[in-house]
Structure 1
């Protein structure tokens, strides 16, 4: 079953929307799906639906609700890409992490106190790394997170498993930044990094011109195995 639910933020009495996909059977774990800069669009909802088919409760919070609630954008449309970049410039990531924590709590309540993971893409990949350091999430996966090399001082707060997918030709994360990420995280006992030679930012998107099918399937297989191991579902 799929549909919209509401989540209460940590800092007030308001509520924000989240897309929820429930499995056919009672879920043993939940995964919070963290959006790109394009909102909870068709691609993010499809990610949730796939996770539900795999047996998880999947919830994608609308992290732009404080700016433009309900926004859904297509990265292949130039003016919508520009809108997304403008929204990103207005987005407060620290507040976003608190909204992710609120969503984690909601997900955990819905499954009766079981384990909760997060998986994020682009902006969401960065926020997944931040969530590993700042929330009580049980396992985190980030796809092509931008600016993780500037967050390495937070690595000491990571106590649960983290998986990062790093495309080597990411035009938002240059080779020097990738080298800093590896230097900072390769020896971290809780962090696993996979490189994808020849792949660019957005290679694992569900739809559109950015998708690189073979690499996307490989990354998703690794993510599935990671969550099976660490969430027990």
Structure 2
């Protein structure tokens, strides 16, 4: 009974709607080109093409023993600078202000130096910016990388979330709305899919006079193309 009612509602909607032809390309919902911003020798690569990763997973590291030692030294200096500062805080009322300021400066400077050394160490670790899958890899252990000449080493994209990048004639720009249904097929596949317009770009493509819209999808191979029909409701 529910199917009959749904079918009737769909027919009523279709009667008051206009069908707009659109072509599309499949893209990942998220994608990023990853690179080191520091120079060094690649010590370890923990992923390969097809590896699924979680946000903040370590993907690769540079040789960084020297930076680890520098950070440890900065942390020790901070520890003792804080002890000295805390002692001076207790006797602040009975010591010269300029003397107290010197200890405060040393403490703050030690914090800055420790944070700086940590930032240098962090730059030797390449992490995943979001949950996804590695789809291109161009580094191996032992490779030399340069922070002065940054190049893409890994490419990552959403593992399952996709978006269809639609193009349709500009004459329908006022008719198509976010939420309109989109019925489509992948080229070479007769299976019918359905989705909804999730975003409409505010600028017309000047090269072909097409409006660009997006439809969310899942588990389609990035790069596939297809065509379909937007059901543009006039209401």
- Work out whether the TM-score is over 0.5: no
Report which of the two has the higher share of helix.
Answer: 1
Q: TM-score, normalised by structure 1?
A: 0.16
Q: TM-score, normalised by structure 2?
A: 0.16
Report which of the two has the higher share of strand.
Answer: 2
The structure with higher relative contact order (CA 8 Å, sep 6+) is: 2
Structure 1 or 2, whichever has the larger Rg, is 2
